[in-house]
């Protein structure tokens, strides 16, 4: 999905400002909606170039300061590219800010969700579930981890990776590699 996207660094004066360095802020604008966050640096107003959004000068400390801003800008362009390529959700200034700061970026994984489910199920053993059911779910989790190691070479994957291909490959793995074809037929 195509979005209008822009970044701008600027100095922001607090309400009671008298003199001295000002905090550098980053404004992210996506489709006319904006979010601001601090860049974690300060700059004297006379050393700031408003049009470029960078500190004036050529000293080493100025170059380092501007490289930090360039790095933040590059990170945001990468975040925008990644959100454009990998998500179906609309890109917002807030989602970009949250991705940069790590807020709201709780990554749900297959093993994490499976383990949470198993923990809740085990708490209900004896009242709603039989002990054998909990054991089967633990075994299923073990098979799922072994499948991901076999197919993808990892112990866990993002929950969003579960799609038709994943399910078909998992079915193939259980039937051919684990030789659980008979058990699958009985379960169905």
> Residue range 163-174: average pLDDT?
92
Mean pLDDT, the chain, whole residue set: 87
Distance (Å, whole) CA 58 – CA 76? 25
Distance (Å, whole) CA 117 – CA 88? 26
In the chain, the percentage of residues whose pLDDT exceeds 90 is 54
Residue 127 pLDDT > 90, yes or no?
Answer: no
> Residue range 104-121: average pLDDT?
83
What is the per-residue pLDDT for 136?
92
- Distance of alpha carbon 109 from the chain centroid: 12
DSSP strands (E only) in 56-105: none
What is the per-residue pLDDT for 99?
85
**Domain residue spans in the chain?**
5-101, 110-187
Confidence at 86, pLDDT banded by 50, 70, 90:
confident
> Residue range 117-140: average pLDDT?
90
Residue 106 pLDDT > 80, yes or no?
Answer: no
What is the per-residue pLDDT for 187?
56
What is the per-residue pLDDT for 49?
93
Confidence at 98, pLDDT banded by 50, 70, 90:
confident
> Residue range 133-157: average pLDDT?
92
What is the per-residue pLDDT for 82?
85
User: Taking a C-beta distance cutoff of 8 angstroms, is the pair 71, 64 a contact?
Assistant: no
What is the per-residue pLDDT for 140?
92
What is the per-residue pLDDT for 139?
92
Report the largest interatomic distance among the alpha carbons of the chain, rounded to a whole angstrom.
79
What is the per-residue pLDDT for 158?
85
């Amino acid at each position: 999905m195509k979005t209008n996207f822009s970044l701008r660094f600027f100095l922001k004066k607090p309400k009671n400002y008298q003199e001295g360095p000002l905090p550098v802020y980053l404004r992210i604008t996506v489709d006319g909606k904006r979010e601001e966050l601090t860049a974690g640096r300060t700059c004297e107003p006379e050393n700031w170039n408003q049009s470029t959004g960078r500190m004036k000068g050529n000293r080493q400390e100025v170059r380092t300061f501007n490289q930090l801003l360039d790095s933040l800008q590059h990170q945001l362009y990468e975040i925008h590219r990644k959100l454009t390529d990998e998500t179906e959700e609309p890109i917002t200034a807030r989602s970009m800010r949250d991705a940069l700061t790590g807020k709201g970026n709780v990554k749900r994984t297959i093993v994490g969700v499976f383990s949470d489910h198993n923990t809740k199920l085990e708490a209900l053993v004896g009242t709603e579930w039989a002990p054998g059911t909990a054991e089967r779910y633990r075994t299923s989790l073990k098979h799922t981890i072994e499948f991901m190691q076999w197919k993808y070479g990892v112990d866990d994957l993002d929950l969003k990776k579960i799609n038709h291909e994943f399910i078909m490959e998992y079915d193939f793995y259980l039937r051919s590699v684990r030789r659980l074809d008979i058990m699958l037929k009985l379960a169905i």
